[in-house]
Amino acid sequence: MTSQQPSQHRYKLTLAYDGTDFHGWQKQEPPASEHPELVASTPDDIAEGRVAMRTVQHVVERAVRTVVRERVNVKGASRTDSGVHAGGFFPTGEPGGQVAAFTSEPIADKGVGWPIERGTNGLVRALNGVLPRDVLCLKAEAVPLDFDPIGGAVAKEYTYRIVTGPMRPLWDRRFVFHTWYGMELGPMQRAAALITGEHDFAAFAQASHGRKTTVRTVFGCSVEQTNTDGDKHDPPRFEIRVSGSGFLYNMVRIIAGTLMEVGRGKIAPEQIPAILESKDRKQAGPTLPPQGLRLEWIRYREPSA
- What is the CATH class of 153-300? alpha beta
pTM of the predicted structure, to 2 decimals: 0.91
Are domains 9-143 and 153-300 of this chain identical in fold?
yes
Q: Where do the structural domains in the chain lie, given as residue ranges? A: 9-143, 153-300
Cα-based angle 72, 73, 78 (whole degrees, multiple of 5):
150
pLDDT band at 212; cut points 50, 70, 90: confident
Give the pLDDT confidence of 175-194 residue by residue, as tens digits: 999 999 999 999 999 999 99
Give the pLDDT confidence of 56-104 residue by residue, as tens digits: 999 999 999 999 999 999 999 999 999 999 999 999 999 999 999 999 9
Tell me which amino acid residue 35 is: H
CATH number corresponding to 9-143:
3.30.70.580
Angstrom distance (rounded) from CA 245 to CA 216 = 7
Helix 251-264 × helix 185-195 angle, to 10°:
140
Q: Which of 30-39, 61-70, 126-135, 209-218 is predicted with the least confidence, judged by mean pLDDT?
A: 30-39
Give the pLDDT confidence of 234-267 residue by residue, as tens digits: 789 999 999 999 999 999 999 999 999 999 999 9
Q: Please list the active-site residues.
A: 81
Answer yes or no: are the C-beta atoms of 133 and 112 closer than 8 Å: no
Predicted local confidence at residue 118, as pLDDT:
93
